[in-house]
Amino acid sequence: MSREEMRARLFYGRAGRFGVLVDGSSEIIHVMIKGKRLKGVDEYNPLAPGDWVELDRDQLIIKRHHRDNALQRFNWKQNKPQTFCANIDMVFCVVAAKSPEFHVRFLDRLLIASELGNVNPVIVMNKIDEGVEHLPEIIDLYQSLGYEFVLVSALQNKGIEYLQTISQGKIVGLWGASGVGKSTLLNALEPMIQQETGAVNRKWNRGNHTTNFATFLPKSGGGFWVDTPGMRDFSPYLVHGEELVHAFPEMNDVAQACPFHNCMHIDEQECAVKDAVEQGSIAMTRYQSYQKVLEESKSYQKKW
């Protein structure tokens, strides 16, 4: 790194202006990308909260550093991948027990995108005060896959301390469908943040991009919360169809036994994954999630 260049971390941004913290500094400065476009990056948003960037001596962003991980989806409106945040420690996949109605496929999509993005997911089921009696099988299934499944009520302050404990000092993303209670949860997790959240959002999320960007919010005791916009539909972004199987912990090993080494586990005559689904060792709902996500990715991928 030359003396003129500075490494900085991006905290928020929108409409071409980004709030960054330069290494060694404690004050956020507002900067832009040099020439408005980052070389070689063709994404809906070239930069996301959590990105490490390089600034030149005029404090213009000239480079995005390699990402260790990222939360992404495919943005159908823009026909491009969209990154919510990068370089985080874990993500809470937030679902609601009853309202909005719990959909196993939506949860799978959050998990798939977390796995594809190389971010460790924790399933957080909120609004358990509305009842979970219909859900024990679901909880069993996801626990058997190795996922942590935490039951909470943001409204009644249940399970909140546990979430605080497991996320102590970490950078934690929150994502989920619209209305599952992410904002309420964030306020329960971080009562001090309440006002600040509003202030940051008001300032940076004005206009018609309101629902599209994530923001880093400081946690008491170190680390950050990364609040993402509520989503109505959600498509994990697949660079190649082949990578999808790796997002399923229960399929990964089984797939090694498929006789065709390019097996996509869909139409092939012999397939270890399909056999496992028939035998019940892979849940049908999970396989259906696999099929759907693979199928829809074909419409934005030119070739496999």
Ligand X SMILES: Nc1nc2c(ncn2[C@@H]2O[C@H](COP(=O)(O)OP(=O)(O)OP(=O)(O)O)[C@@H](O)[C@H]2O)c(=O)[nH]1
**184 a known binding residue?**
yes
Buried b (16+ CB within 10 A) or exposed e, 200-236: bbeebbeeeeeebbbbbbebeeebbbbbbbbbeebbb
Contact region with Zn ion (CB under 5 A), list: 40-48, 79-87, 237-245, 256-264? 256-264
Contacted by 68, from Zn ion, ligand X, none: CB < 5 to 8 Å by type: none
* One of 179, 221, 222, 259 touching ligand X (CB under 6 A): 179
* One of 223, 230, 241, 249 touching ligand X (CB under 6 A): 230
Structure-token match 């997790």, residue found: 189
Binding flag, residue 233, ligand X (CB under 6 A) = no
Binding flag, residue 276, Zn ion (CB under 5 A) = no
**85 a known binding residue?**
no
Contact region with Zn ion (CB under 5 A), list: 124-132, 161-169, 176-184, 255-263? 255-263
Do the beta carbons of residue 298 and residue 241 sit within 8 Å? yes
Q: Which residue is nearest to ligand X (CB)?
A: 230
**93 a known binding residue?**
no
Binding flag, residue 201, ligand X (CB under 6 A) = no
Contacted by 271, from Zn ion, ligand X, none: CB < 5 to 8 Å by type: Zn ion
Q: What is the DSSP letter of 158?
A: B
CA 266 from centre of chain:
26
Closest CB to ligand X among residues 46, 49: 49
**183 a known binding residue?**
yes
Nearest to 265 by CA among 279, 244, 280, 247: 244
Binding flag, residue 61, ligand X (CB under 6 A) = no
Q: What are phi and psi of 262, to 5 degrees?
A: -95, 20
Closest CB to ligand X among residues 127, 286: 127
Closest CB to ligand X among residues 230, 249: 230
Supply 281's token pair.
Answer: 């060792």
Opening angle at CA 226, ends 41 and 35, nearest 5: 30
Dihedral class, residue 50 (left if φ above 0, else alpha if ψ from -120 to 50, else beta): left
The rounded distance, in Å, linking the Cα atoms of 293 and 266 is: 12
Contacted by 230, from Zn ion, ligand X, none: CB < 5 to 8 Å by type: ligand X
By CB under 6 A, name the binding residues for ligand X. Answer: 126-127, 129-130, 153-155, 178-184, 230
Interface with Zn ion (CB under 5 A): 258, 263, 265, 271, 273
